[in-house]
Amino acid sequence: MEVPRIKELISREKGKKVVMLGNEAMARGALEAGIGFASTYPGTPASEVGDSIAEIAQDLPGLTFQYSTNEYVALENAIGASWAGVRSLCTMKMVGMNVAADPLFTLAYSGVVGGLVVINGGDPSASSSTNEQDNRYYGLHARIPVVEPSSTQESKDFVVESFNISEKYDVPVIVNSTARACHAVGVVELGELKDPPKEGYFKKNWAKYYNAQVLTVMNHQKLIGNQNKMIQEYAPVTKLNKILPGDSKTGIITSGMSYDYTLEALNSLGIHDVPILKLGLVYPLSPKQITDFASNLDQVVIMEELDPFLEGEVKKIAYDQGLEIPIRGKELFPSAGELNTDIAMQAYAKAFDKVPPINMDELNLKVFGAAVILPMRTPAMCPGCPHRATYYAIKKAVEGKGYDVVWSNDIGCYAMGALPPFQMGDLMTCMSAGESIASGMSYKTKKQKTVAFIGDSTFLHTGIPGLLNAVWNDADLLLVIMDNRWTAMTGHQPTPATGINWSGKKAKSVNLRDIVTSLGVDYVRMADPFNVKNTIAIFEEALKKTGVRVVISQQECLLETRRRNRAAIEERKEKGVRQYIDVNEDACIFCEECIKEFGCPAMTVTEFEGEKVSHIDMSRCVECMVCKHLCKGCAISVTKVYPGKTILEEKSK
């Protein structure tokens, strides 16, 4: 559903102030920079950058947008557009950069024609990821500039400037935005909206684009020269960095959201007049700017999230420039987890020898011991999620068989199968790794069965090579493809198997069964997880077999089904037809299979006047009807109530 503020992305009212998410602001920045191409593989926390552009791409003739099959494909498409002279944007989450790293490093050698910006969504605290990877190191490793915004306004403005940097210094630019900045909401003043170019042209230049042997070395030398030029010309004077003057002999260097935490913490501690170097360009740093800032200080404190990236770069500059002052960073701030104002206040209290305004023991409990005093909110699959039915079916298929099963899981909604009531997730590493790890185990764990789960989007992302390798090398693996037709966890973006493209128009739909069969898999079965008994039978058969077996459990995400069918549901209501799904108390045997084994969020068992009562909460029920399939007492009833009738009258029929 379209968010009203999305329309502001294409507003031509320069100077207008609007409320935006950080991700939306970065999308607006790309549009103000005049991009003609944008690509993404959706990943939290950066998903809304691409989603926002998808919402308005049809309204800007000349703008090409795509949801790509994975990150390296997304980047390679953006490279092609850039080399045709068109400004291009590519967005991904931080672990997606690992997938895109191969073309990224060589792209830095060849450089760009139209500016190319890669937006990276970082995830301190691993709220939606399997690690806390700090991608500023990609800038250091690949000699690519890294820009880091600290507000929604900067999120827009820094993207615009990143395109200018890219073209001026013939290099891609990484915009590093953490989850807090991506999802922050703030006021943004709009700049001029540029029309996308409708066409580009590739000018052949063999030496620039053909990286092999001596040409590679020459392009590497060119990259180093451009970086040195940037350090000398741009880094010392860029407006991406700013200095807040002060007379204190302790100075602070910080960037991104850590800058905001710093200001709040210093204000709470009553510390004023502190010189602060706020970095927007976090790589490369200017030795001159660092030296000018620190030369008259007694000590420098560096606040940054995750690794001591800035700390290491500043210390190298200090050593080279002969600055003999203490530089304190990770001795004060943790290297793991997301920082916040309370952590900043605790650290700056030590650095400035101040007594914080609150008890430090209470603060420590608040910052580090919240899990002790706050109830944990356990993630759960949505009501009617087909993955829940799939897990239930395979759980019943192994029940009582004496199998020793290794459950290899993957990234997506189905990762929650590792939690109660299923507890079918022994390992999870990264996208599509589960199938290959399970394959590797299968060669050596002869007394165990290996079962891997993978989503349809993940399978099309990087799962195909892993399955091909398993077939080629004769693994003993049962692969369950959880096909809900969407990239659901990141916001229900379409996949090549959904049957629509980014704009919602009908598109070519690939057939997963055909793909699996073409890879040489002889045993392939299709299952509808909502048909529980049949799905259990399919898994029972598959578990008895050996070699590579694939079960495609196919049922659309109920959220998308209900969105699409909302009009039909509303029409039924308008006609006065109501549907009730309930438990026949006389038939219910209170086995609680629906709750304890299946984990239906809508089912409850309570006590009333000393007796057990089963109930279905219709505000949570999505009418998937799995409960009717698994109920041992056949106690689930469905009653349609027509106009002029009551539910008691209908039940009495």
Predicted confidence at residue 333, as pLDDT, reads 95
Whole-number pLDDT of residue 624: 86
pLDDT at 572: 57
d(CA 66, CA 605): 47
Residue 213 makes CB contacts below 8 A (sequence gap 6+) with none
CA dihedral 322, 326, 327, 331 (to 10 degrees): 150
Residue 357: phi and psi, rounded to 5, are: -75, -5
Domain range list for the chain: 4-233, 242-370, 386-561, 577-651
**156: buried, middle or exposed (CB in 10 Å: 19+, 13-18, 0-12)?**
buried
Q: What average pLDDT does this structure show over 591-611?
A: 84
| Overall average pLDDT of the 256-270 stretch | 94
Query: Two tokens at 406?
Result: 């290794």
pLDDT tens column, 265-287: 999 999 999 999 999 999 999 99
Region 405-420: mean pLDDT is 87
Q: For the residues 149-177, what does the mean pLDDT come to?
A: 97
Q: How is 306-364 classified by DSSP, letter by letter?
A: SS-HHHHHHHHHHHHHT--S-EESTTTS-SSS---HHHHHHHHHHHTT---SS-HHHHH
State the Cα–Cα distance between residues 238 and 382, nearest whole angstrom. Answer: 47
Ranking 3-12, 120-129, 300-309 by mean pLDDT, the lowest is 3-12
Instruction: Supply the pLDDT for residue 631.
Output: 87
d(CA 332, CA 352): 12
Compute the distance between CA of residue 125 and CA of residue 80 in angstroms, rounded to an integer.
35
- Report how far apart the first and last C-alpha atoms of the chain are (Å, whole number): 41
- Beta strand pairing call for 37-40 and 88-93: parallel
pLDDT at 358: 67
Check pLDDT > 70 for residue 646.
no
Residue 569 is predicted with a pLDDT of 62
Cα–Cα distance between 511 and 515 in angstroms, integer?
6
Q: Which alpha helices (H) appear in 13-115, and where do they start and end?
A: 22-32, 47-56, 71-83, 96-110
Predicted pLDDT of residue 577: 64
Q: In the prediction, which pLDDT does 2 show?
A: 43
The more confident residue out of 366 and 556 is 556
Measured distance CA(191)–CA(557) in Å, rounded: 39
Checking if the pLDDT of 502 tops 80, the result is no
Predicted confidence at residue 371, as pLDDT, reads 46
Q: Answer whether 141's CB lies under 8 Å from 102's CB.
A: no
Order of all β-strands in the sheet with 64-67: 64-67, 37-40, 88-93, 116-122, 173-178, 146-147, 281-283
pLDDT of residue 411: 82
Q: Residue 79 burial by CB count (10 A; 0-12/13-18/19+): exposed, middle or buried?
A: buried
pLDDT of residue 156: 97
Question: For the residues 460-474, what does the mean pLDDT come to?
Answer: 89
The pLDDT value given to residue 1:
35
Q: Would you say the C-alpha torsion 8, 12, 15, 16 has a positive or negative sign? A: negative
Residue 651 has pLDDT above 70, yes or no: no
- For 591-633, what is the HEC assignment? CCHHHHHCCCCCEEEEEECCEEEEEECCCCCCCCCHHHHHCCC
Does the domain spanning 386-561 belong to CATH 3.40.50.20? no
How large is the average pLDDT for residues 487-491?
80
Mean pLDDT of the region 626-645: 78
Burial class of residue 323 in the structure, from the number of CB atoms within 10 Å of its CB (0-12 exposed, 13-18 middle, 19+ buried) = middle
What is the band of 625 on the pLDDT scale with cuts at 50, 70, 90? confident
Structure confidence at residue 5 (pLDDT): 67
Q: d(Cα 477, Cα 521) in Å, to the nearest integer?
A: 11
Largest CA distance in the chain: 92
- Residue identified by tokens 């939690």 is 419
The vertex-500 CA angle with 25 and 495, nearest 5°, equals 70
Query: Residue 245, class by beta-carbon neighbours within 10 Å (0-12 exposed, 13-18 middle, 19+ buried)?
Result: exposed
Is residue 645's pLDDT more than 60? Answer: no
pLDDT in tens, 171-207: 999 999 999 999 999 999 999 999 999 899 899 898 9
Instruction: Give the C-alpha separation, 486 to 243, whole Å.
Output: 46
Share of the chain above pLDDT 70, in %: 92
d(CA 4, CA 191): 19
Cis (ω within 30 of 0) for the bond into 45? Answer: yes
652 contact partners, CB below 8 Å, separation of at least 6: none
| Dist CA 32 CA 24 (whole Å) | 12
Which one is predicted more confidently, 380 or 252? 252
Cα within 13 Å of Cα(411), Cβ side: 24
Assign 3-state DSSP to the chain and report helix, strand, coil percentages, each to 5.
40, 20, 40
Amino acid symbol at 337: G
**CATH architecture of the domain formed by 577-651:** 2-Layer Sandwich (3.30)
Measured CA to CA, the distance from residue 132 to residue 125 in angstroms comes to 6
Work out the average pLDDT over 578-601: 83
Same fold, 4-233 and 386-561: yes
What CATH number does the domain located at 242-370 have?
3.40.50.920
Q: Kindly report the pTM of this predicted structure.
A: 0.84
Quick one: pLDDT at residue 490?
Answer: 81
| Spatial CA neighbour of 511 closest among 496, 501, 521, 523 | 496
Res 26: pLDDT:
97
DSSP assignment letter at 264: H
**In which element (H, E) is residue 117 found?**
strand 116-122
Mean pLDDT of the chain: 89
Q: What stretches of 132-280 adopt beta strand conformation (E)?
A: 146-147, 173-178, 185-189, 242-244, 250-255, 276-279
- The answer as to CATH 2.60.120.260 being correct for domain 4-233 is no
pLDDT digits (tens, 9 = 90+) for 552-573: 999 988 878 777 776 666 665 5
Reply yes or no on whether the pLDDT at 610 is more than 80. Answer: no
7 Cβ neighbours under 8 A, 6+ residues apart: 56
Q: In this model, does residue 238 exceed pLDDT 90? A: yes
